[in-house]
Amino acid sequence: MPVDRMLPTPEAEALLELTRDLAEAELRPRVAGYERRAEFPREVFTTLGKAGLLGLPYPEQDGGAGLPYEVYLQVVEELAGAWLAVGLGVSVHTLSAYPVAAYGTPEQRAELLPGLLGGELLGAYCLSEPQSGSDAAALSTRAVRDGDDYVLTGTKAWVTHGGRADYYAIMARTSDDGARGISCLLTPADTAGLSSQPPERKMGMASSPTAGLVLDGARVPAGRLIGAEGDGFRIAMAALDGGRLGIAACAVGVAQAALDYAVAYARERRQFGQPIVEFQGLAFLLADLATQVEAGRALYLAAARRRDAGRPYRTQAAMAKLFCSDMAMRVTTDAVQVLGGYGYVEDHPVERWMREAKVLQIVEGTNQVQRLVIGRALGQP
């Protein structure tokens, strides 16, 4: 059932209606087959770009739509509820465009953003490495200046769209000065010396490729340095704040889909002469699930509105990512329980949503890292 949203403008309402129509026509009919075949729906991202859905929070002069983050995130939620690999892919693509949009020179913005925001180019974000995940500042990939180029050497891990993206926002070390020695380079996928490893075999989101990148003397023009040398870690953390809100919105979308399916099933399934939704034990369970979904949506929207107002929101983003992804895990698990044995088989999508929800507790910083961010904020005077 459509979510009863409070949107800021009639234009935003029309955009959400467009998103729902697109999800019904282009996403829901295809998700099961693509997941089963582990096939990446690249054409879907082209369609989203043509519909103007890949550049929603970025300025119009850069090819975006100039919309508030609270509107963009609700679009992501709708997409994720229909197909998580697509909703999360839009969030990652938005994350990959952030360094150029926020820190790029006018020339870099003019060259790169129209393609990234219009759907002609697909982006990816490369921070994690095999030995530095949560401790991102410990990354070891090197970028050494050589004339008019940087030469990149190292390995990146857990790259969403790895091997399928057209551009990679790569965080690499340009000095040994800890977090202050990291820089950001926007690197074309066809760069000599850049290659992708085989995609990971995951328990969910099979249609979203996750792969490592190998950089073996990859030469990147110095003009692709985003910001100044040493700005990379600051850029990466700022991007992750927005990205965590994207994951929170994805989590709410998956949880809403599971709730809607469980409610519809409970209305139709009859036991002991009546629909099972009329049994108090099940009705109370569904009431709790619905309340948790609404609470998650309210939390991520509150953080988004702080971002739109130009106020600090890092702690609130961590809270939203933590709460919403934990909530999605609970809601999808209980949705499987509502369907009983039917919930455990692939004939019904709740088992897929349960598997998918798990990754949302891990990506963009594990939920343990989110608690660390929140705890540190509480410890400051």
**Residue in 232, 202, 219 with CA at minimum distance from that of residue 98:** 232
Distance of alpha carbon 279 from its chain centroid, rounded? 37
Q: Which amino acid is at 191?
A: T
Q: Which of 77, 78, 129, 364 is catalytic?
A: 364
- What string of H, E and C letters represents the secondary structure of the chain? CCCCCCCCCHHHHHHHHHHHHHHHHHHCCCHHHHHHHCCCCHHHHHHHHHCCCCCCCCCHHHCCCCCCHHHHHHHHHHHHHHCHHHHHHHHHHHHHHHHHHHHCCHHHHHHHHHHHHHCCCCEEEECCECCECCCHHHCCCEEEEECCEEEEEEEEEEEECCCCCCEEEEEEECCCCHHHHEEEEEEECCCCCEEECCCCCCCCCCCCCEEEEEEEEEEEEHHHEECCCCCHHHHHHHHHHHHHHHHHHHHHHHHHHHHHHHHHHHHHCEECCEEHHHCHHHHHHHHHHHHHHHHHHHHHHHHHHHHHCCCCCHHHHHHHHHHHHHHHHHHHHHHHHHHHHHHHCCCCCHHHHHHHHHHHCCCCCCHHHHHHHHHHHHHCC
Q: Is 111 annotated as catalytic?
A: no
Annotated catalytic sites, by residue?
364
